[in-house]
Structure 1
Amino acid sequence: MSAPTHPRPHTETLANGLRVTLRHMPGLKRSAAALRVAAGSHDVPLAWPGLAHFLEHLLFLGTERFPADQGLMTYVQTHGGQVNASTRERTTDFFFELPPTSFSAGLERLSDMLVHPRMSPDDQLREREVLHAEFIAWSQDALAQQQFALSDGLSAIHPLRGFHAGNRDSLPVSQADFQQALRDFHQQFYRTGQMTLSLVGPQSLEQLRALAEQFAAVLPAGDKVAQSAPPSLMEGETTSYQQVAERRLDLLHTFEALPESSAEALAFLCHWLNSAKPGGLLAHLRKQGLADRLEATVLYQFAGQALLHLAFTAPAETPGALREQLRDWLGFFAAQQDWPALREEYAALLQRQQQVSSALQLARLDSEQRDSGLSESGVAALKQILQKIGAVDNFSSHWQLPAANPFLRAAEPLANAGLIRGQTSAHRGLRTFAQDRSRSRRERSPMQFSQALPDNSAEGAMFLRWQMEATATADLQARLQRSLRDVTDDARQAGVELSFTPTRNQWLLKLIGLQDPLPVVLEHALKNLTQIDADSALSEQEQPLMPIRQLLKVLPERCLQSLPPSDDIGHLWTTSRWDGLALGLNAQTQAAMGLALSRIPGMPDNQLPILPAPVAEHRWSHVETDSSEHALLLFCPSATREIADEAAWRLLAHLCQAPFYQRLRVELQLGYAVFSALRQIQGRTGLLFGVQSPTAPAGELLGHIQRFLEALPALIEQHDDASLIEQRQLLAGQLDASVLSRKDAAEWLWQAKLAGHSSDYLARLTAALGQLDRPALLTAAQRLIRADGGWLCLANSVGPGAPWQATK
């Protein structure tokens, strides 16, 4: 079945000057708002760098009408939504997503905080410390510094060369001049003429327009203020420069006086520059050993200016040859007459991506106000851009346009399934759900086609799990991931999210997205995973992560038993056992899965063991990070795998989220990376607490978390019976099929399978929440405090000793 084409958003300007885009999407489960303010870091007075970013932070501190514990962030979190903001060079964005029933109240809070921000000196001093902690982390982060250094070749007077994050020195809260500048910036730019509001949801256009008008009614009206034009990006006639580092070459091209359609033209050019298809630039560079990876991005664009960045990983020692190949390919690309085939495919993949986008993703896309493809005016802009870059006229004959994405159109299945080394025909004794049903087979299939999600949607999900006899070596894991790189890119463009995670002895292949391409995507993925070629052995240099993200990345593997390593891929596959879960697939898709299922390596097994029972122990895992900042994660699994315990843990996590953030980030000011959430890892449900701090060591961070947990019973008692019932109902409402996205529902049901629960898991969990009373919740809190389910702590420092046991 073909997914319907998404309509373009309706755009209009309200009577008071607020520009709105409205997109009615009846199939969405949630609604989203994205507000763009045409003012950013480059619009502040030169004397106060960081002022725009500082104001963005202050807006979230609550208002007289909606204090912090009732403001937008807390409201969205308690209703299971998402919320964030971002300050860029010339724009500031605020965005959130909520269930439709809660959406109006979220908009009400957003408008109130924009109009009536808290500006008290004490609030400002506390929030400045948060920005200062961000600044310290930024100044010590190698990747952030690398990105900042990319502007070194620009004119010294261009604002891209300046510092705009804000810290104690640049934000003198006590000075009257600074306070006046802060108020002036807010009054000048935070008014209707400077704003674009994008709303997306299942509501009708009339309902969305009414919400937009209610939002606009409280905003100060005002015409759009012209943002000052920046100076030239570079001085003189030079328009490009390069930076050379170990295993990296950065080429930067600047543009002036570009037409309005240049944004879509540059996006189109970057897409094809990044393509790794045979005959293209990147494939040729790899073949010639000139570079292993190319990433083209637009770092900046405003008022006809643009900065195009081409990052080459593992380049040749002489970058001149690489630049020559780039110009040669650009000449070939420029010679194509208006790119009809590439434009058609590009428009198709953009449409596919919109079909699987969330409400929040669509709202943010609409706030960009870009066409979905390359228009005729975009073609003219692209020709101008290619001319400015310096594409040559006499190019080589070996170039070719990239092959069409096989997943964007109906494709024939791969021929000759074949067997991997060591596999026998017995491994192919698998049948599709439709075949099993037609033959009245009674045995339970290792691939469970679940009816827990209805099959009347364009989207579906499939999870494949292998249990291996050993842990893949780091090199083998890299080869496996690399083997899927091109398939993953093509699948994403076609509306399927493909991921492969070899976590110790548990390997997981996951596909979520449009049903049409799912079977052929699965076939290609299995073929690549079982036939790793020599190119797959090449290594890539990973970008460094901030410490807390490094801990999050390794957390799943630290929850599993460590086994001896192995790099014998053939032996690992043939001795593996697998099972799987398919959700929301209609009969047509199930039938099309037959050939792909016959190619799954390993032995099918419908009785893979579930995780062992929780053990009351304290485990500490030391993770090395290249940072002087301290980071810590504490994962507290539920005391048992029973549904009643999971319900209690979920309500505890729901009650902890806002107070934990308030205590450790706002009151103690330990750092800007502070969070708590419920997390499910390998079927194990637990509370996860995370902190990254520039000053407090891991032992101190752990002490703060433990004291917070010890105060949980008192926190529960602060809620009267009516409040507890309300919080319980809010949490249960997040399990409602009418608001739960198909992707989230599929992830939850997969975790339920790993934990040994039946397919009615969501209904049972909702029922358990309804029966959860105060005594049961207090008992769960005590079991959490006693670590009855065990505690696992990950930190970038060694453990504090007993009762903590060092583990890998």
Structure 2
Amino acid sequence: MTAVSAPTRELRLANGLRVVLVHAPDSPKAAALARVAAGSHDEPEDFPGLAHFLEHLLFLDSANHRSAQRLMPWVQGRGGRLNASTQARTTDYFFEVAPNDLGDGLARLVDMLARPLLDQAAQLSEREVLEAEYIARSADAGTLIDAALAAAVAKDHPLRRFVAGRRASLPVESEAFQHALTHFHREHYHPGNMELWLHGPQSLDALQALAERDCLGWPAQPATVREAAPPLLPLIQDSLALQLPGAPRLVLALVLDGLDACAEQALENLGERLGDDSPGSLLAWLGERGVADEASLRVVYRAQEQALLAVTFELADVGAAAVVEAAFLDWLRASYECGADSLGNFQSLPALEQLRLRVRGLPAAADANWLERLARAPMIRLLVAPDIEGLPVEVAGFPLMLAEASLQSVVPGSHSWRFPAPLPTSTAKAGALHLRWRFPARPCRSYFLAMRLALRPLVGQARLRGVALRLEEEGADWALSVSGPVDRLDEPLVEALRVLQQPPSAVLQQGERLLQRERQRQAAELPIRQLLAALPSALAGNAMAAPDWAVARWDLLEQHATLPTNAPVPGARAAEPLLPPALPGGRHWQRGAGGGEAALLLFCPVPDRDAAIESRWRLLARVLEPGFHQRMRGELNLGYALYCGFRQVAGWRGVLFAVQSPHAGPDELLQHLQDFLDAALLDGISEQHLQSLAATLAGPVDAWQDRLAGVADDHHEHLINAARRLTRANLKAAHTELLAASGGWWLLANRT
């Protein structure tokens, strides 16, 4: 793997703003990111959450862009992406749009950062959003694990403080709070304390012109001087236990001396190695012994002076913790002894993801010495399980059931770990082979999970060849895909087909355990995520049995590649591409008996596969999205977790709505959603705006998703042509079809 370079330019404008420009000539998207050198640990202690609150407020009206012209609805209306993130010492604002929209998006971004209105009535409304977000995060496993780790660090460290913000900590009505809010914005949100990154296919001169056009009018101020955060050490505790629902987990948190660019590079490498499941890897070793199924790595806290890194293992049972820790420590030692790699697959990432990595200094030189220092870092051990007998405490503002653990330091084992180097990059063109099977009865989920486990060693080996191998459940069907250089696809595919038909019996015996583990994992998710995970099964029907390969039918999509003649494909090839099973019209309810906040999901499939009908439904989703967020979150304050958009679910395409609320039940949420849809104001949208939205409807071609959806090979071309002819009458027709449940209304709720 070699580091990827792109033409870049760094400059500092006359007002002190640091600007970094990245010319990516082949990028289909453009992105912008503004970083403020201030975060939650820079806010006044009297008003916890003020920095996070300000991040939310800045997306509201600004001096020159209000209502539908604000950055958020403007980007949403163009099919782009945007978000923001308040960290300990930084706050980032970022968006991704079509290249031609970068300038208009940047103007809105700068206006909201430099000239927010901070209307007090809007603050009261947005405070309720933070309250809903706090309630949702109070049940989020990742948030509570981070809070438990904070309980172990030095007593005076701000990581232990509440910084999320909620109703009680944000006295909007107070004059002192208003003064603190405006002072924080004035002190930190100015060019001398910020940097701007732009990424796009435009030339460096064109990108620079955009930055100068929108940013030079921002008044200069001296850079803000901040004190360094106190050290994370000494630790108060090094072994804790946390009661949480879901699968048991072992979290090993390492206290580090900062993260420079080389350390960030090593961190990315470590994450890739940790997720490697090829033979001889840590994950393969743990899986073969049935002690752990998953491993992940993330940064809990980072500042210039220090960082806290968490390595999390999903355990088969709590008794496996010592074995897993010993194996990890030995693997970590072997990892730094084998050297370091540069960052791979960078150029293939979307524009926004590339930009967020670049802000961290990537790609950078690999540094094996950093991994050696990591192996010697002080460590916090946290055991997470449903049956932990902890005491109620509050840390970082979140309620926990926490206990001191009896975990003892372990002696690393000694194993022969393998860290095989990837094959040299192939010069062959890229291609893909996609196989899909349909069975007389939908195979049970436990069998699918076991089959995916059986393929994991092949997945890891294929990755070293630059090939992606995947087994997916697409509604009632199974799909096997290989993609990568065409000269390297045959062997992984042939081996995978053999394993599918003759999986190891020991792996098949783990099916029920894997299914139980998946259910535990999903039970710990936010309710809205549980419903999203359940939707494909609700559409596809009940799983019945093991796959009967002898009577399965299959179809194939070849993309610049040919199915090898020796490929042992089971079943009979279908004479025609397999279409998604027809869904009945009308309303279909599926109610669960879950706890936590109420959540509702509504999926409205398109009633026909015709490109003209799909195009008008896509336009309707694009028109509804900004108003849905404004109505449900801004006006009704129903909750923080929301979704509205056009989506493909296991082959079925349609408009998806989802909302989670701390104070409204599923039936009330449905009534609000029905009222919103009934009152959708389609006449107030100008023809010019409709045409601009229609121009963004057809994204890049995804032939495999088209095949799963059962549309013709030239469907995307017809979709583009239909989008050019869309009118308000087409939009209203789609609205009428949706309200009439022409394609069905599939309603899922987590409560009766």
Give the alignment's TM-score, normalised by structure 1: 0.80
**Among 535, 558, 569, which residue is 1:555 paired with?**
535
Structure 2 Cα separation of the partners of residues 225 and 267 of structure 1: 31
Aligned to 1:691: 659
Shift of residue 54 of structure 1?
0.5
Judged with a 3 Å threshold, the aligned counterparts in structure 2 of structure 1 residues 717 and 328 are, in CA distance, closer, same or farther, namely: closer
Aligned to 2:550: 574
Q: Indicate whether 1:730 and 2:732 are aligned.
A: no
CA contact (8 A) 2:447 2:508 kept: no
Q: Indicate whether 1:481 and 2:452 are aligned.
A: yes
Partner SS for 2:196: strand
Structure 1 Cα separation of the partners of residues 643 and 285 of structure 2: 45
Shift of residue 114 of structure 1?
0.4
Partner SS for 1:466: strand
Shift of residue 201 of structure 1?
1.3
Partner SS for 1:648: helix
Partner SS for 2:84: strand
Aligned to 1:793: 747
Structure 2 Cα separation of the partners of residues 281 and 234 of structure 1: 29
Q: Indicate whether 1:199 and 2:198 are aligned.
A: yes
Name which of structure 1's ranges 489-498 and 465-474 shifts more when overlaid on structure 2: 489-498
Instruction: Point out where structure 2 has 5 or more consecutive residues left out of the alignment.
Output: 380-408
- Aligned residue type for 1:610: L
Structure 1 Cα separation of the partners of residues 293 and 604 of structure 2: 41
Structure 2 Cα separation of the partners of residues 193 and 537 of structure 1: 61
Q: Deviations over 1:690-716 (max 9, x none)?
A: 11111111111111111122223xx12
Instruction: Point out where structure 1 has 5 or more consecutive residues left out of the alignment.
Output: 412-456, 799-808
Judged with a 3 Å threshold, the aligned counterparts in structure 2 of structure 1 residues 623 and 728 are, in CA distance, closer, same or farther, namely: farther
Judged with a 3 Å threshold, the aligned counterparts in structure 2 of structure 1 residues 501 and 41 are, in CA distance, closer, same or farther, namely: same
Judged with a 3 Å threshold, the aligned counterparts in structure 2 of structure 1 residues 680 and 319 are, in CA distance, closer, same or farther, namely: closer
CA contact (8 A) 1:636 1:784 kept: yes
- Aligned residue type for 2:18: R
Q: Deviations over 1:348-390 (max 9, x none)?
A: xx23x2131111111111111234341xxx3343333334459
CA contact (8 A) 1:678 1:687 kept: yes
- Aligned residue type for 1:366: R
Name which of structure 1's ranges 504-513 and 545-554 shifts more when overlaid on structure 2: 504-513
* Pairs within 5 Å for 1:155-234: 155-234=154-233
Judged with a 3 Å threshold, the aligned counterparts in structure 2 of structure 1 residues 155 and 204 are, in CA distance, closer, same or farther, namely: same
Aligned to 1:305: 306
Judged with a 3 Å threshold, the aligned counterparts in structure 2 of structure 1 residues 755 and 3 are, in CA distance, closer, same or farther, namely: farther
Structure 2 Cα separation of the partners of residues 267 and 753 of structure 1: 34
Aligned to 2:396: none
Q: Deviations over 1:137-175 (max 9, x none)?
A: 111334432332222211222111121111011111011
Structure 1 Cα separation of the partners of residues 220 and 461 of structure 2: 46
Aligned to 2:118: 119
**Among 648, 662, 670, which residue is 1:702 paired with?**
670
Aligned to 2:612: 644
**Among 684, 692, 701, which residue is 1:718 paired with?**
684
Partner SS for 1:579: strand
Structure 2 Cα separation of the partners of residues 139 and 396 of structure 1: 37
Judged with a 3 Å threshold, the aligned counterparts in structure 2 of structure 1 residues 639 and 173 are, in CA distance, closer, same or farther, namely: same
**Count of aligned pairs:** 709
Q: Deviations over 1:649-673 (max 9, x none)?
A: 1222122111122111111111112
Judged with a 3 Å threshold, the aligned counterparts in structure 2 of structure 1 residues 501 and 58 are, in CA distance, closer, same or farther, namely: same
Aligned to 1:363: 355
Aligned to 2:573: 604
* Pairs within 5 Å for 1:297-696: 297-314=298-315, 317=319, 319-320=321-322, 322-333=324-335, 336=337, 339=338, 342-343=339-340, 346-347=341-342, 350-351=343-344, 353-374=345-366, 378-388=367-377, 398-405=415-422, 409=425, 460-488=431-459, 498-511=469-482, 518-523=489-494, 525-533=496-504, 534-535=506-507, 537-538=509-510, 539-540=513-514, 541-542=517-518, 543=521, 544-562=524-542, 565-567=544-546, 569=547, 572-583=548-559, 585=560, 590-591=561-562, 593-594=563-564, 598-611=567-580, 615-625=584-594, 627-696=595-664
Judged with a 3 Å threshold, the aligned counterparts in structure 2 of structure 1 residues 333 and 761 are, in CA distance, closer, same or farther, namely: closer
Partner SS for 2:166: coil
CA contact (8 A) 1:259 1:304 kept: no
Aligned to 2:384: none
Judged with a 3 Å threshold, the aligned counterparts in structure 2 of structure 1 residues 66 and 296 are, in CA distance, closer, same or farther, namely: closer
Judged with a 3 Å threshold, the aligned counterparts in structure 2 of structure 1 residues 85 and 497 are, in CA distance, closer, same or farther, namely: farther
Aligned to 2:80: 81
Structure 2 Cα separation of the partners of residues 297 and 4 of structure 1: 22
Structure 1 Cα separation of the partners of residues 429 and 61 of structure 2: 41
Structure 1 Cα separation of the partners of residues 107 and 184 of structure 2: 23
